[in-house]
Each structure stands twice: as C-alpha cells, then as structure tokens.
Structure 1
Amino acid sequence: MPLHLDTRLAHCGRPAMNGDSGPVNVPVVRTSTVRFDSIEAMHAQVRKRAGGLPISTYGRQGTQTHRALEEAMCELEGGSRAFLTPSGLAAISLTLLALTAPGDHVLAIDSVYQPVRKLDAGHLARNGVRVDYFDPLTERIEDRLRPETRVVYVETPGSLLFEMYDLVPIVAACRERGISVVADNTWASGYLFNPLALGADISLIAGTKYVSGHSDLMLGVIVTRDAAHASRLATTYEALGLAVSPDDVYLALRGLRTMAVRMQQHAHNALAVARWLAQHPGVDRVYYPALESDPGHALWRRDFRGANGLLSVGFRGLAETQLFAIADALALFDIGASWGGYESLVLPATADKLAAHRGWHGTAGVLRLHIGLENTADLIADLAQAIAGAQAAR
C-alpha cells in the first residue's frame, strides 16, 4: 500500500544504517576538498558526474548532507533530480538562465513574484531574452506564444493576490510546441500541490519559507521532471559556482520533518482569520483560495491538498497611509518581507506593486498577512484593535 505523504516526509532522506546502528538525522558533513584513494578513483567519479549523477568531486557540489535533502525534495515533489541554491531567487535566476539564449522568448504570468521582473529588466533583456506577461484568467495562452517561446513561467497561486491558475491547459499548449513549463511552487512548497504531476517540467521552491519553517536560513530548490532539463540545469549550475552551506541544508531537512503538522496548523489559523476578516464591515475583500467566497476556490479544491498561512486583505475607504497605520499598530504581527516561519507577519502591498496584476482594480493596495502559529483569538483581537484605530483616525 502506498505510504501517505506525511509518512514519506518523516522517512525520506534519512541516513542508512552503518552495520547494526545509525543516527536518526543525517550528519552535517562540511568540506571544501573531496579526497580520493587514487587518480583512477577520482576520474571515475568525474565520469559519473559528467554522466548526470549527483556526485561530488569538490566541496561546492555538496556532501552527503546535500544529497539527503535533494532526495527528500524529489520525494516531496515527485521529481527525478533536485538542485539546491543559496535562495529562492537564485533558483529562479539559474533556471531561466539555463533554459534561454539570446533571441528566445519567455512568457510569464502578470502576477509573478516581483524580483522576476527585475531579473527580466536587469539581466534577461540585456542578454537578448524577451519576457512578456499575460493573465491566464482573461487571455488564451495560445494567443501569446511565439515561435521563439522557450519557457512559460507560472506561479499558482499568484503572488500578493493569490489568483488561482489552471495549469492543465497551460501545460497542454506548451507540450505540443516543445516549450518548457516552469512553476514556482513556493506557496504550496510541494506539500500542498505538485506541478510536475500535472506536466510542468520544473518546480521551484524557496526553501527559506515553509521547508525551513523557522525563518533562520536562506535556500532555493529546483526539482526537474526529466533528465533533459536536469542536464541543462547542471551545466549552468556548475558554471555559476553555486554552493549552499551544509548547515543550512541540515536545518532545512530538519524543518521538512515537521512541515506536515506546521502547514496544517497554519492553514487552520489562516482560515479562521480569513473568515473573520471577510465578515468585518471595513473589509472589502480577503484574498485566500481556501476561503469559500474566493473566485479560485473551486480550482484550489480540485488541485490542492490544503492551504497555508498566507493571505491578503483589502479595506473599504482606507488610504495607503491608513494601511501603514494598521501595520504599525499590530502588536503580534512583525513587519517583514518573508513568510513561512512560525511567526505572524504583515507587509503592505501598495497599489503601484499591484498595478501589473490585470485583475486588480483597487486604489490603496492591500495588507499581506502571514498567519503564524499563535492563538487565533489573540491574532483576531490584534487585527480588530489595529483596524479600529485606523478607522477612527480616518
């Protein structure tokens, strides 16, 4: 009988027994130099690495600690090969650089993670790669693909407003044209959704977020579905000289063991807060796919196994300065740009940042909330006093 994902998470990437005993956790192996018994042994390892096997001939290529997390992430995402990078953005940059060349075209969703647009303007455009943006909710992807399109880049749900996109027709249109589909899967982090199972070629995760779960490391993960994409990534990975600390890898692997229970609690807390906000007379809309009133709820129920702690909320009649005032008045929500840790966070997403989202029609922006593992009654009370203060000041 196939094992449940929670069980597989607890057991994947564990060290083998050494004789009759062994540790529960993979040891942290630190090294810059990899030693060999002979020149022939070194050459044999080099040949294996050249053949696509994740084998180290030098420290920046990783150790047993790295191999354990790579194995676990492949298990989580249903992929064949994983690459670890120093951050989630590094995973995005490496992937787009590896899959494109001058003259190529990339099509990305318009609600994409903002640093992707900076990568486009600062590096891809300079290297002769054109990136266009589209809204799958209002446009047919077939109408936006070009003969030189090499990559379609998606996030589901989208950043900031968490729009749900149907990956099935996107994959179908790309597959018949030989176009690679790259999916940023950080929101689900492999536990809630698997884009590779729906035909995407590459899944990206910022392990900084829910894989870590404790806001104490930076990590990106790339998981490929097939050997061809893995080979292209491996060449670029080697050329860029990327390396990840084994200590960060160990912490990520430790965080992975508790992701199931953490994610379930984040979702439970976030849904309680989302439902309270949706009933608040000062709230215009709550953006959270697991909420029954969300436009993407049916698609989320079809494709996802659950939700996380991330939502956004827009208010009626509040100016941008009052959004900032709510954030400043919150006592239990730290102001911070990341998410996925145990703590609750708040960050304004202002109208200028949302302007590229074609589905956005507001004026003052929204507050993005990460609902942590605190008691929900305390979080709701904190939100209530902060919103009341902003409304009174208005």
Structure 2
Amino acid sequence: MSDPSTQLIHHPYTSPAGFEAVAPGVHKASTVIFPSVAALRNRDWKHKTGYTYGLHGTPTTFTLEERIATLEGGKFCTLVPSGLAAVVLVDMALLKSGDEVLIPDNAYGPSKAFAQAELAAWDISFQFYDAMNPADLAAKLNRKTRLVWLEAPGSITLEFPDLPALVAVVKANNQSDKMAHPLGTVTALDNTWGAGLAFNAFWLGADISVQALTKYPSGGADVLMGSVVTNDEVLHHLVHLCHMRVGYGVSGNDAELVLRGLNSMALRYAAQDAATQQLAVWLQAQPQIAAVLHPALPGSPGHDTWKRDCTGAACLLSAVFKPEFTQERIDRFCDSLQLFKLGYSWAGPMSLCVPYDVPAMRRTPWSHRGGLVRFSIGLESVADLRADLAQALLIA
C-alpha cells in the first residue's frame, strides 16, 4: 500500500487494550467488520453474543440496554428512536389483523392517534377504557383483545390508576375461555413518569414496560429515544425481531448522552419531585385555581393508590383554573410566565407549561369546568418559580 488514500483507510494501527474510564466508550457504525466468512454467517445479534450491523447493536447500545433493563427491574431491553416509537413497536410486534387493543382514555395522545389511524387501517380494532374503573376494562375485554395498554399516571390530568387491579382483570380474562391466543392478553405499561424509580412495573404485574428515555434518563431536553423492557423472553424476541424488520436504530452519540444522564437520574428525579410537590401545595392556595392535579396531593384522583404503590411523584402537575377564567385569560397567564417556557415534553432542566383542552381529548366525562395548564418543574429555584407563577396569576 503506497497510496495515502489506501493507507489511511486500511491503517494497521490498533490501540492497546486495557483503557478504562468513567464514561463508556462510544461506538458508531453502520458496517461491522467480520474476521471471516464463517463469522459473518454465524454471529448471533439476537442474544447480544456478537455484532453484525449497526442497527442490531454496538457495544454502546448494548451497554445502555443492559442499564435500562436494570433500572426497570427487567431482563431484556430494546432501544428505539423515541418514546412514541416504543409504543408503536409494541403495537406492531404483538397485533395483527383481526386483533384488538384496549387503551386508557387518558393515555398519551399520539398513542391513541396511532390506533385510530394506522391500526384501524390495518384492520386492528381498538377501544378506550376508563383506567380508574377496572370494571370498565373487564367489560371491554373479549376474545379479540391481544394487548392492553396501561399508563400511570394518566396523561395531562395525572389520575393514578390501580395498576395491580387492572392487571388482575386481564389475568382473570386470560384464565377464562374468552382468550383464544396462546400468549393471552399482554399488558404493556407506559412507565415514562415512574421512570423505573417511583415503582417497579413488573412488581405491579405488567408484562412490558416502555419509556421515553427522552425524559428522565436523558434529562437534558436534547435527545429523543425510547425503550421496551420485559422479563419474558418470548415477548422480547417478538419485539426485537419486529424492531429489526422495521429498521429502528439509535445513534451512538445519543446513546452516550442517555448513558451520561443515567448517572444523575435518581438525584434529578428526587429534586424535581420535591420542588413539584412544594409548588403544587402553593398553587392549591391561590384564589384563581380550582384544583391542582398531582398524585401526591390528598384528594387528587388515585392519591391513595399512588401512596400505596409509589415512592416518588416526578415533575408534573396540572392546575385547573376557576370557570370564570376564559381561555383567553389562561393563555395570557401562560404568555406572562418568564421562567416557565411554552414547550412540550418534560423532565429537562427548564420548567415548561402547556394549556390543554381536556374535554376535546377525552371520551370519559371531565369533572372540572375550568381550563387546565400542565406544568413540568425543572431544576430552577423553587422560590423563583413560585414568584414567576405569582406575577403571571396577577396579570391573568
């Protein structure tokens, strides 16, 4: 090799082994090099015993998958490009034409939209059930039901369901003559809020746990990623093979950022939880506010269940304004906030808020007449955030 272009591509130098550092190495690859044709033909990416192609994993993504599985208390993890992709992957892996999926009426909106559009177009039916009423779930289970989604707490309105009771309904149905599928009806939990820290999804009975790693595991508001975790090897391989076929992949640089975020995750979760509870109690006392929705507050829907099953409560709260506050006044309140920025997502360092029209999002009757604003509490000073809320309430 005399030409520099060839020498640079096929350079013989290999760095010495034995380098250790706090941060795991970042491996980026589409192509993976095999030492022989035999290795090319025999390597098994499905069980993480070797590397075949970038989509099927690198040392960096394998490391992150193992740490997320540990965080969730599971055995198997698959990474995807976003939290919504995790939901979609479970749907695609488990559902086929003629099946049905049951989804909480208070679930993450895009999850419901995927069922209403793509799943319906694929002849997969769906029903929405009241997650706060296990009897409603029981009434809607049938022989076609292949998958039941769970979410704790509910999106936006933060009701905390009785997860063991909902799981028990599904298990009882699996033991009856209603269930035709050999694997029964599978339960999958969106555990983004709990994040593997507030409670263990598998101890409460879920078969699959998904997260938007975009939120707490990253913590920086700069990464999109999701995960699907299970203890069941059969379910894992159904998910993992579907993952391969649809071509989901995550970048080494994004995996690096999530790995870094995991180191401080428990500290951030606890700090934001404590700050959120302080602000929730303060907002309850404000004359403009009719109700504050937060699982740790007595009187908030599902508080007793949260108290029984959880050790934390994350960074979200929702405030319902009194009915005399028009949407125009609520929008003016949001626009008047200085530290709280208008933006979707949560669990990042910066506090956020978004106004929502709850009745337009739900089939289950909404018990409040006033407009709602959801807050994500960041890492700023609680006193500064309280002052910001106070000045915006006066303007509204």
**Does TM-score exceed 0.5, indicating one fold?**
yes
Q: How far 1:123 sits from its partner (Å)?
A: 0.3
Show the 5 A alignment for 1:193-342: 193-316=199-322, 317-342=324-349
Q: How far 1:43 sits from its partner (Å)?
A: 2.1
Matched, 1:25 2:31: no
Q: Secondary structure at the match of 2:42?
A: helix
Q: After superposition, what is the alpha-carbon deviation per residue over 1:248-293, rounded to whole angstroms, capped at 9, x for unaligned?
A: 0100010011011101110111011000001112110001001233
Structure 2 distance, partners of 1:355, 1:371, is 25
Matched, 1:167 2:157: no
Structure 2 distance, partners of 1:282, 1:169, is 36
Counterpart for residue 177 of structure 2: none
Counterpart for residue 393 of structure 2: 387
CA contact (8 A) 1:263 1:308 kept: yes
TM-score after normalising by structure 1: 0.90
Q: Secondary structure at the match of 1:49?
A: coil
Structure 1 distance, partners of 2:376, 2:302, is 19
Q: 1:315 is aligned with what amino acid?
A: F
Q: Secondary structure at the match of 1:150?
A: strand
Show the 5 A alignment for 1:80-99: 80-99=75-94
Aligned pair partner of 1:75 in 67, 70, 78: 70
CA contact (8 A) 2:103 2:112 kept: no
Q: After superposition, what is the alpha-carbon deviation per residue over 1:43-88, rounded to whole angstroms, capped at 9, x for unaligned?
A: 221xx335x4464310111211101110100100011111111111
Aligned pair partner of 2:187 in 165, 171, 181: 181
Q: After superposition, what is the alpha-carbon deviation per residue over 1:191-228, rounded to whole angstroms, capped at 9, x for unaligned?
A: 11221222211101001111110101100111112101
CA contact (8 A) 2:106 2:131 kept: no
Structure 1 distance, partners of 2:312, 2:318, is 17
Q: 1:205 is aligned with what amino acid?
A: Q
Q: How far 1:352 sits from its partner (Å)?
A: 4.2
Q: How far 1:353 sits from its partner (Å)?
A: 3.9
Counterpart for residue 12 of structure 1: none
Q: How far 1:139 sits from its partner (Å)?
A: 4.9
CA contact (8 A) 1:354 1:365 kept: no
Q: 2:254 is aligned with what amino acid?
A: D
Counterpart for residue 8 of structure 2: none
Structure 2 distance, partners of 1:25, 1:188, is 25
Q: After superposition, what is the alpha-carbon deviation per residue over 1:317-357, rounded to whole angstroms, capped at 9, x for unaligned?
A: 2111111111100000010011110110010111444433x
Q: How far 1:359 sits from its partner (Å)?
A: 5.0
Aligned pair partner of 1:106 in 101, 105, 108: 101
Q: 1:214 is aligned with what amino acid?
A: G
Q: 1:212 is aligned with what amino acid?
A: S
Structure 1 distance, partners of 2:370, 2:131, is 24
Q: 1:74 is aligned with what amino acid?
A: A
Counterpart for residue 149 of structure 2: 153
CA contact (8 A) 2:290 2:370 kept: no
Matched, 1:117 2:115: no
Decide which moves more: 227-236 or 134-143: 134-143
CA contact (8 A) 2:162 2:302 kept: no
TM-score after normalising by structure 2: 0.90
Q: Secondary structure at the match of 1:121?
A: helix
Aligned pair partner of 1:132 in 127, 132, 135: 127
Q: Unpaired runs of 5+ in structure 2?
A: 1-16, 175-183
Decide which moves more: 188-197 or 271-280: 188-197
Counterpart for residue 38 of structure 1: 36
Length, aligned pairs only? 369
Q: 1:35 is aligned with what amino acid?
A: I
Structure 1 distance, partners of 2:192, 2:360, is 20
Describe the shift of the 1:300–1:55 C-alpha distance in structure 2 as closer, same or farther (beyond 3 A): farther
Q: After superposition, what is the alpha-carbon deviation per residue over 1:284-309, rounded to whole angstroms, capped at 9, x for unaligned?
A: 00010012332322211111121111
Structure 2 distance, partners of 1:32, 1:297, is 47
- Identity of matched residues, %: 38
Q: Secondary structure at the match of 2:339?
A: coil
Structure 2 distance, partners of 1:229, 1:282, is 49
Q: Secondary structure at the match of 1:125?
A: helix
Structure 2 distance, partners of 1:153, 1:351, is 20
Q: Which has the larger radius of gyration?
A: 2
Q: How far 1:106 sits from its partner (Å)?
A: 0.6
Q: 1:150 is aligned with what amino acid?
A: R
Describe the shift of the 1:219–1:174 C-alpha distance in structure 2 as closer, same or farther (beyond 3 A): same
CA contact (8 A) 1:350 1:364 kept: no
Describe the shift of the 1:41–1:355 C-alpha distance in structure 2 as closer, same or farther (beyond 3 A): closer
Q: Secondary structure at the match of 1:197?
A: coil
